[in-house]
Amino acid sequence: MKPLIIANWKMNKSVNESLSFFNQIIDPLSKINSVTTVICPPFTSLSELNKSIAGTNIKLGAQNIYFENNGAYTGEISTSMLKELCSYVIVGHSERRTLFNESDLEINMKLKAVINEGLTPILCIGESIESRTNGNANQVIGEQITKGLEKIASINNLVIAYEPIWAIGTGKSASSEIAQEMSVIIRSKIHELYGVMSEKIPILYGGSVNSENIKDFVSKDDINGALVGSASLDPKSFISIVSESQIQT
Ligand code: PGA
């Protein structure tokens, strides 16, 4: 499977800053065709970046959506609006689950909306440090998958990102062994629900990924790429992460 590297900029970069970043990565990344690269900027930068990616191998994603298509939902953005601007959407990031109280039910509705619109959802799952210490990590992950994907018949486009909460933004990534072990558990859960489709689902690792540790992760059999937060904000660091990911090809 072609490695997939997704930049999650979170609430960082103005439109001008986004364009300046893009101008710095375009040449180096245009030479790397063996990795799929996706940038998820804030909503405000999507329109301008969408013009800039024309003719390049870089794809765009959004960091969130609302599940209704349109109507009186002040401040929200729907999948039909995003469809003109990007092809991926992050759903259920742990920051949204915890800071904005997003439930598995809401995440399930968002996934349905994204899939119905023909966009590719990146479903984020991951356990807290307490769940890991108590030995409940597998159960937490299993429930996030089952509830998140409830009554979703087709997962052709699905991407899953395993992001243990204790590794996000902490500078302490999971070991590549733990990430591989959890990816196997995730893939077997998907197999239980969808059969052989599980072989085609990219499973990414996320949580303090940087240019030094990326190779460890992508060289594991069941890890197909990474969701990168802070290390994706600096053009040089991001270029080197994408470049180091060519290992699997
Ligand atoms: P981080 O964030 O790389 O800064 O740990 C990852 C994420 O939240 O997706």
Q: How confident is the model at residue 248 (pLDDT cuts 50, 70, 90)?
A: very low
CA nearest 14: which of 53, 54, 41, 52? 41
- Tell me if 8 CB under 6 Å of ligand 1: yes
Nearest CA owner, ligand 1 atom 6: 229
Q: Which atom number of ligand 1 is nearest to the Cα of residue 173?
A: 5
- Tell me if 228 CB under 6 Å of ligand 1: yes
User: Is pLDDT of 45 > 90?
Assistant: yes
Per-residue pLDDT tens digits for 109-163: 999 999 999 999 999 999 999 999 999 999 999 999 999 999 999 898 999 999 9
Spacing, Cα 70 to ligand 1 middle (Å) = 30
Q: How confident is the model at residue 90 (pLDDT cuts 50, 70, 90)?
A: very high
Query: Quick one: average pLDDT of 98-103?
Result: 96
* Dist. CA 123–CA 201, nearest whole Å: 11
Q: Which atom number of ligand 1 is nearest to the Cα of residue 208?
A: 5
Per-residue pLDDT tens digits for 180-239: 999 999 999 999 999 999 999 999 999 999 999 999 999 999 999 999 999 999 999 999
Spacing, Cα 206 to ligand 1 middle (Å) = 6
Q: Is the pTM of this model over 0.85?
A: yes
Per-residue pLDDT tens digits for 70-81: 999 999 999 999
Domain 4-244 adopts which CATH fold?
TIM Barrel (3.20.20)
- The domain segmentation of the chain, as residue ranges, is 4-244
Per-residue pLDDT tens digits for 48-59: 999 999 999 999
In the prediction, which pLDDT does 169 show?
A: 94
Spacing, Cα 113 to ligand 1 middle (Å) = 24
User: Is pLDDT of 85 > 80?
Assistant: yes
